[in-house]
Structure 1
Amino acid sequence: MNDFKTRSEARRISVENPHSVNAFAGGYWPPYSRAEMMKIPAVLRRIVALGSSARTMPDYVLSPRVMLWRLQELAKVISERTRRHASRTTWSLTLSNGKTVRFPLDDPSAVAFKDMAAEFEPYYEKALADFLIETLKPGDIFVDGGANVGYVSGVAATTGAVVFAIEIQRELISQIEAMATLNEFDLIRPLHLGLSSGAGLTSMWRTGINFGAGLEGETSRARHDEPCSIADDFVPVMPLDDLFAAPGMTPAVVKIDVEGHEISVLQGARQLIEKRRTIFVVEYHAHMLQLYGHGPNDLMTMFANGGWEIHQLTDDGLVPLATLDDLKPDPRDPNPKIIFTPKP
């Protein structure tokens, strides 16, 4: 039986007991970055020098031979993804942290986003981008709910955070994957699913401006019992509480941009809200809440236990909010960003 469960624990044990082959191997596997991948051959040589065998290795590490095979397979996956996306036409921007992010430009949705983003100086949604750059640190978990082409995911990835890019439009997943590959953002995890208050399989329109409005029967035109319909697609939906229930998986920041579906997403995050360890960035679509049977007060009610600081994110910084009536209109951003931060 292994005497550790995580890499950090394995490394602690390795310091306490330098002769523990299990702990030494477990402290380096799996690799967290490409730089760590490059160290694995030296780790394997050290394991062999310590006289390891398959019987003494942790179950998930196994033997030097298996570790080497896994490393080779991982390198092959990265190489294949690079070849797949390397020839893409791209556009790029440089952020306030000096990092440049490249975005693919070979899909109509990507071109439309680029044309829209080009109207903003120095870059699109600067306040949100700068907030994430200042807030996230390496190893943090960032959830991009409603990732679209992956713009915000790419910004967050420059901080070294682990990014879960959640998007219900299947066609956009490939755009997020291409962006991640082009920038060597190996810690971006694109997920094709919807966030909601419950788990299941739901239908959504294959056409339409607001794809989210087709989810969960919350509009009269959404249907869930027509598997033969070619007008609808089917998407798994899950609550944030289910996705991030495991120890060590609590997000540092969750961004929610789901075009009126905000309340249902937050209802599926009650446990995360109760923990008060996660910052929620909610893009507020006041005019679309009614599509889902909700109103403005429902948003504030989710954070009404007094344990939260509430601000509007603006180009001038964070502006405290007592009620949603305090929101300041912004002609450049008709959907204000509301930040819910746990009180110390």
Structure 2
Amino acid sequence: MNNKIIQYSVNFLPWQFRGWIKHIPIISNLQRWFFAKFLAGQEFIHLINAGPAKGLKYPVKLPEDKAIWSGTYEPDFALVLANSVQPGDICYDIGGYRGFFSSVFALAGAKLVITFEPLPANISQLRRLAEVNPQLPLRLESIAVGEEDGFVEFYVMPEASMGKLENSSFQAEVKGSDLLTVPIRKLDSLVSEEAIPTPQVIKIDVEGAEVQVLKGAREMLCKYHPLLLIEAHSPLLANDCTSILRELGYQVSVLETGFAPNPQSDPEVCHLIAKFP
């Protein structure tokens, strides 16, 4: 009974206030104590009842999935993703992590969401997510995306649900806990081979390999002009991504500021929104 009460307790709070709890010391400490005593390490299927992921059944483990449990995982970016989808769109989620944003795309009306994710731990979670939400149009591609076709070395980061290409500049000082060899493909190759349908919306979060993804997608971007939503992991990467996109005719702005990218004032990690006029 205690477990059920804790699992569903978040649903009684208005969605807009759920992210505030962590800033209230007494409540946040009490919540952490309950998680540790009653739910630590246990998976349960939670129905998110508010926010862009409303209606999603998610296999949750607390405390690591706390933000997903509350439906407040990167809420501003999630709202932008949801609002970017038109009914019937094809969406790519490149660097799908544990599937929250893929699900937001699907719940917003996408016809198909193709999730690209090479990390085994996340692949298992994505398969589990699709299993408990069979109504959602989710398709998994267990590969990395970049500027080459073949195989590449891929680091599993100390946080085991995160990974990066060996040549990624993201957290260059941090060595992974394991090194895997994973398949990698260019989007241009996949589209030209008709292995995947062409997209209207693409989200990219690839831990420092954003530039490689864009370089491997030039032909597709020039021809089909999808909307791009990119998490850039440093001002330098944001600048490099912006240069490529502007060469291709895109207009680029930063979600956090509402203005064109500015390496001197943008956040260390920011979200780029790239639209074709």
Q: What is the TM-score when the length of structure 1 is the normalising length?
A: 0.58
Q: Distance in 2 between matches of 1:127 and 1:145?
A: 19
Q: Distance in 2 between matches of 1:97 and 1:261?
A: 27
Unaligned regions of 5+ residues in structure 1, if any?
Answer: 1-87, 223-229, 290-294
- Structure 2 equivalent of residue 102 of structure 1: 57
CA contact 1:244–1:251 (8 Å) conserved in 2: no
- Structure 2 equivalent of residue 319 of structure 1: 258
Distance 1:116 1:321, change over 3 A: same
The match for 1:154 among 103, 108, 124 is 103
Q: Distance in 1 between matches of 2:145 and 2:259?
A: 27
CA contact 1:93–1:123 (8 Å) conserved in 2: no
Q: Distance in 2 between matches of 1:221 and 1:324?
A: 23
Structure 1 segment 35-46 matched on structure 2, within 5 A: none
CA contact 2:254–2:261 (8 Å) conserved in 1: no
Q: What is the TM-score when the length of structure 2 is the normalising length?
A: 0.71
CA contact 1:154–1:180 (8 Å) conserved in 2: no
- Structure 1 equivalent of residue 123 of structure 2: 173
Q: Distance in 1 between matches of 2:63 and 2:184?
A: 27
**How high is the sequence identity, in percent, across the aligned residues?**
25
- Structure 2 equivalent of residue 64 of structure 1: none
- Structure 1 equivalent of residue 31 of structure 2: none
Distance 1:179 1:261, change over 3 A: same
The match for 1:242 among 189, 193, 199 is 189
Aligned-CA RMSD value: 3.2
Q: Distance in 1 between matches of 2:263 and 2:169?
A: 27
CA contact 2:147–2:212 (8 Å) conserved in 1: yes
CA-CA distance at 1:181 after TM superposition: 2.2
Q: Distance in 1 between matches of 2:97 and 2:195?
A: 28
- Structure 1 equivalent of residue 203 of structure 2: 255
CA-CA distance at 1:185 after TM superposition: 3.6
Distance 1:169 1:240, change over 3 A: same
Q: Do structure 1's residue 114 and structure 2's residue 65 form an aligned pair? A: yes
Deviations 1:52-104 (A, max 9, x none): xxxxxxxxxxxxxxxxxxxxxxxxxxxxxxxxxxxx61233234468311111
- Structure 2 equivalent of residue 299 of structure 1: 241
Q: Could you say what secondary structure the match of 1:160 adopts?
A: coil
CA contact 1:173–1:192 (8 Å) conserved in 2: yes
Unaligned regions of 5+ residues in structure 2, if any?
Answer: 1-42
- Structure 1 equivalent of residue 276 of structure 2: 342
Q: Distance in 2 between matches of 1:98 and 1:207?
A: 27
Q: Distance in 2 between matches of 1:191 and 1:231?
A: 21
- Structure 1 equivalent of residue 225 of structure 2: 277
CA contact 1:145–1:255 (8 Å) conserved in 2: yes
- Point out which structure has higher relative CO (alpha carbons under 8 A, 6+ apart): 2
Q: Do structure 1's residue 232 and structure 2's residue 179 form an aligned pair? A: yes
Bigger CA radius of gyration: 1
Q: Could you say what secondary structure the match of 2:48 adopts?
A: strand
